[in-house]
Amino acid sequence: MSFQVNSRNLSTQIKKSEIIPQSSTGNAITQKFAQMLEDQAFLNKVLDLINSLFSFIVIFQYIYSTYSTSIWSVDTWPITSTLFHAYFFFEWICRILTSKDINKYIKSWESVADLISIIPYFVYKFVTNSFIYEDYSDPYLLLINLLSLTRIMRLQRLLIYIDNDTLKELFQIILAALSLVILASGILQFTQRNSVGNIGSGKNSNQDIDLNTLPFHYYIYFVMITISTLGYDNPFNNSVIRILIIFLLIFSFIFVPQYSSKLINLLSKKSFFARRSYKVVESVSHVVVTGVVSSTAAENFFQELFHQDHGDQAKHALLLLPHAPDGQLENLLSNPNLFYMEGQPSNDNDLKRCQLEKAKSVIILCNKQSSDPHWEDSQTILRAMDMKKYLKSNIRFCTQLLRQEGKTHYYLSLQETQSEQIDQVICIEELKMSLLAKSCLCPGLIALVNNLITSSGSPTDNLEYKWLEDYWKGQGFEIYKVLLSHKYQGRTFSQAALSIYKNYKAILFGLELISTESSRLFLNPGSMYIPSTYEVIGYIIAEDKETADNISQSKGQNEENEFQDEAMNVREDIIDFTRKFYQKNSSLNSQNTPPKDTEMKLFTDDDYYNNDYDSSQIQDEQREEHLKNAIITGDWNKIYEKCYTSKDKIHLKDVSFESLENNILAQNHIILCGAVDNFINFIMPLRAKHLDNYPAIILLNDKEPTEKAWNLVSLFPNIYFVKGSALNQRDLIRANIQKAQTVVILASEFEQSFQDSNKEYENEAKKSMELTKEQEDLLDAKTIFKYKAVQKLKPDIQIVTEFVNPANIAFLSSDPSDYSLLKKFGYNHTPLFASGEIYISSMMDSLSAQAFYNPALIKVLNLILLGDHSHQQFWKKKKFDKSFNHQNSNLFHIKIPKAFQGKTFEKLFCFLAARQDIIVIALYRLSLCKDNKLPYVWTNPDPETILTDRDICFIFSQTPPQDYMEWGGPLEKNIQQKRKKKLKKHTSDSTQSENEEVPINYDEIERTNANTRQYIKDSELVSQKINQIAEKIAQVKENCKDLELMIQNRQDQIIDQLKNVIQDELNNIVKQKQQQNIIQQQQQQQLAQMQQQSQEENNNQLSDQSSLQPNDDYDQDNYDDKKVRLLRN
């Protein structure tokens, strides 16, 4: 039944409040009524309920009259029925006047049902003139009342208030079937009771049943079994009724299969996530997340959103995506506070299922590796516009866009000024490229920013590395926005920052002044006094929200002289260091003897408070400022005013080289590897005028930049292009990598090929292009190969790399301990990430989650990375106000001054804040500072941390630091005197301009110039001698180190030789002892043998003497010889 579709469409129109009065009517009353219908959703509901109630009463009246005609005898019924139809006619006229397309509405089934039930009724009334009575026996009146059954179709208007699509379709099918059954039953009963002529009989031929007296429910039964059993048990002999039954069967053949298949398809296509609806829980806020959400982005976003550091307050997150969740997203759904909703942001029913009008915030994520950024931004903006069109109240939107032009288009699409003020836009490429560029100047910045925008918690186990303990402590600090107490009014920003650090160990680095009409944000305005005529907001780096609340609620008891006391402590430390320095070098020159105490006073109390105007004068001079909201920031001339540029436009062909190997143009340069069209955001931080010098930049890519992209950077100097790829080592050599300072490797853009030539198919595929883990790994694989190629050619070079999937960091390191840290604590606790060399694309998703709790975070981060030219709020001043003549500070790197090496971090912070108007926020500790193989970042270190020569500071300073290694040393006096002279000169110039006649003493000027020249010579001589001494000391230290090493080596050799000699002697002694033992044993054996032989011979001799007698001389001689031999033996 096609009337249902038209009815639903019209209902949707009214629900969307698109009822607009026709300009052709020109009736003010009609326009006012249309505006009332458009603005008041409650009025729509009331009108629909009244219409449905009256329609139900009219239908019930007719069905009841088929059982009993007593209702016609009531005098009030004709009048009531007339009033009902009059109301129907009045509402029909109103909807005609407020419809966009009158012809379309008249042809709709909703309008046809009204006309069928209204026009015949009034025609009959006017013809018969029976407004106050009715003749129930008149068949024409019965026919007109029968037409009132068509009003059952008007009940479908109530379906628009059902949220669930499946339930709505089910009720629509039931209502359509009920309409068919009731209408068919009424027509058959009326035909049977008012048959004309002799067409059939009133009784059944087979049964004795009077068909004219059958009740209405019998006809309902008959119609239902006719549709279901094809006319089984037909009691009617009336040929007209049989013809009507044939049409009923034909209609049912079309209706039943159509709606049955529709219901089946609806149930089969829609998953559980497409049917579920979110129910708002009291005292629990919820946020709606939509857009293009990959598994990695979702994991980082919701990990930050539900982190325990944000408090125990319950919150729900609704993830609205146009498809069912994959396996990785389903793992995240184990969180009971996360709800997955399948639907489209452009569908009002899906938005209503999410309870968007009651959400606290809406966050729209984008595909950061999209191959078509313009198309991606347009889709994101359309999602935001659809959701804002549905909403009737302003809800904060946090939207991710890729291009800077997309931010302009987004603000232009807004029609409400209030939305512009509360909405947040994160430009991915703008922040990413600026962060990568600043990381080349300030290594470790990526890790520092990540620490400030992500929550870390406390380690579950004991950490085996000391550097990891420091890094983890720094991760516990975040940026908080607090309302500064009144006690800081009248102080300079540096004084307030020093007071907050001393009392709360928190770092105040920014200030926002808010009036009734405007606001402005400052980064470390230094000597600017904090006014009392504005609401003052401070931006601090603190460990937790409790500390931030304490700063806001502090009353300042016993803290009036804390700044002066700290100044005295710093002064004593520096004086002590200077005295020791002179004592060490007193033998060099008699003039370098330690000065007296009066001369050693490098800075006095007046230096801390001396300024051109006091606080009362400042308060009198302050005027309310007005904010100029510059939405369109495409004024490139302002950007060039803040950057170094060339006079003429540089053509790409003039700076394209085949090779820059050993070229003088490429020295200490930066190599940018990867394709990016809008790389002006990478160039601008490296060409900012607050830099003393800027490095050359080489673009290494296999494709030339587009003409549009090059035109944006054609005025920036020292930018060169080499065609090639970082995957090829020969191309890296052509980019002179051996002389390069930093290499930046960008992640590749994902390009998906479509085999189908159908453009519509390609567009639909792009819409659901969310990177899977395999696709992310494919993009990171190219980055890993580039990293390895660069590292192989120059292992000690700084490499800043962009990764899509953080788990792939493990492939960059060959140390097993790094892999164990990755598995145990996550990617953000690996040495490579802690050194600030890895940028993760999903870092911006963590920023979006943090912005839900801290909306000012995006504005602060934009100012830190992009500077004043990207800020969208500019001051419109009616009168120059000296108290606001302060520029924003920039981020710099400085080494630890010599005077503070071996001192605590607290002393360095207090000295820089008090004397230099510089705020230190973190340390960058080089390798081997502790047990670290790579550098790491320590945000807001412990005050008692001992500084070494392996430490570097992250500072906010208004000017580039000069001679910072001598800060706090013996030359500090000269630096302070120069600074004081400049201040006096500025004061004298101001005074001289106010006086009409100023006498000039030329002799005094000449003496001053002579003294100045002599002072400069003496200072240069002292500086040269100090440098010579420092060089000699360094040389002696080196020689001592070499001598100590030689002595140690010689001692080791001698000890080894002695050990060998002693061992040999011991071995010889053992051998000799063994030989002596053997000889003694042999001698003892021989002696025993000889004794035995001697005993035997003696025995033999005695026997021979007794037996032998000499007979003659010969025998006597033999006897004598034997005797002699025996005696000899």
Q: What is 282-438's CATH topology?
A: Rossmann fold (3.40.50)
d(CA 841, CA 835): 17
Distances (CA, A) of 100 to 19, 91, 209: 7, 16, 54
d(CA 470, CA 936): 9
- Please report which helix (H) or strand (E) contains residue 875, including its range: strand 873-876
Alpha helices in 442-544 (DSSP H): 445-453, 466-475, 493-504
d(CA 76, CA 131): 11
Torsion of CA 125, 128, 134, 135, to 10 degrees: -140
Distances (CA, A) of 194 to 143, 187, 197: 10, 10, 10
Q: What is the DSSP letter of 914?
A: I
Token output for 221: 């039964």
d(CA 234, CA 204): 10
Angle at the Cα of 1091 from the Cα atoms of 1090 and 1095, rounded to 5 degrees: 115
Strands (E), 507-597: 507-514, 519-523, 535-542
Distances (CA, A) of 76 to 119, 132, 311, 753: 21, 8, 66, 75
d(CA 1059, CA 1053): 10
Q: Taking a C-beta distance cutoff of 8 angstroms, is the pair 594, 576 a contact?
A: no
CA 940 to chain centre: 22
Residue closest to 989 by CA, chosen among 622, 612, 619, 529: 612
Strands (E), 675-833: 697-701, 719-723, 742-745, 798-803
In the block, tokens 């660069």 appear at: 790
Strand order in 338-342's β-sheet?
Answer: 338-342, 315-321, 285-291, 361-365, 396-401, 424-427
What residue spans define the domains of the chain? 1-161, 162-270, 282-438, 455-613+873-987, 1012-1113
d(CA 807, CA 827): 7
Q: Taking a C-beta distance cutoff of 8 angstroms, is the pair 561, 510 a contact?
A: no
Token output for 109: 């089934």
d(CA 444, CA 955): 13
Backbone angles phi, psi at 375, to 5 degrees: -65, -40
Who contacts 276 (Cβ-Cβ below 8 Å, separation ≥6)? 339, 341, 353
d(CA 510, CA 496): 11
Q: Taking a C-beta distance cutoff of 8 angstroms, is the pair 150, 156 a contact?
A: no
- The string of DSSP codes covering 918-945 is -EEEEEEEPTTSSS-SS-EEEES--TTP
Who contacts 580 (Cβ-Cβ below 8 Å, separation ≥6)? none
Residue 615, pLDDT score: 36
Residue 792, pLDDT score: 92
The pTM is what?
A: 0.65
In the block, tokens 């288009």 appear at: 409
Q: What is 162-270's CATH topology?
A: Helix Hairpins (1.10.287)
Q: Taking a C-beta distance cutoff of 8 angstroms, is the pair 493, 919 a contact?
A: no
Cα Rg of the chain (Å, integer): 48
d(CA 722, CA 457): 45
Q: Which amino acid is at 1022?
A: V
CA 1019 to chain centre: 51
The ranges of the chain with pLDDT < 70 are: 1-42, 69-75, 131-137, 163-166, 195-211, 230-234, 237, 263, 266-270, 415-421, 460-461, 555-640, 750-773, 868-886, 969-1016, 1019, 1103-1129
Q: Which amino acid is at 228?
A: S
- Please report which helix (H) or strand (E) contains residue 397, including its range: strand 396-401
Positive or negative torsion for Cα 1017, 1018, 1023, 1024: positive
Q: Strands 535-542 and 478-483: what pairing?
A: antiparallel
Distances (CA, A) of 1018 to 598, 665, 1011, 1015, 1039: 20, 39, 10, 5, 31
Token output for 682: 């990478």
Q: Taking a C-beta distance cutoff of 8 angstroms, is the pair 865, 854 a contact?
A: no
d(CA 116, CA 164): 32
Cα within 13 Å of Cα(872), Cβ side: 18
> How do residues 625-664 score in pLDDT, each as one tens digit?
332 333 333 444 456 678 888 888 889 999 999 999 988 8
Dihedral-angle region of residue 355 (phi above 0 means left; psi in -120 to 50 means alpha; beta otherwise): left
Helix, strand, coil percent content, the chain, rounded in steps of 5: 55, 10, 30
Q: Taking a C-beta distance cutoff of 8 angstroms, is the pair 427, 404 a contact?
A: yes
Who contacts 1005 (Cβ-Cβ below 8 Å, separation ≥6)? none
Strand partners, 612: none
Positive or negative torsion for Cα 369, 370, 372, 376: negative
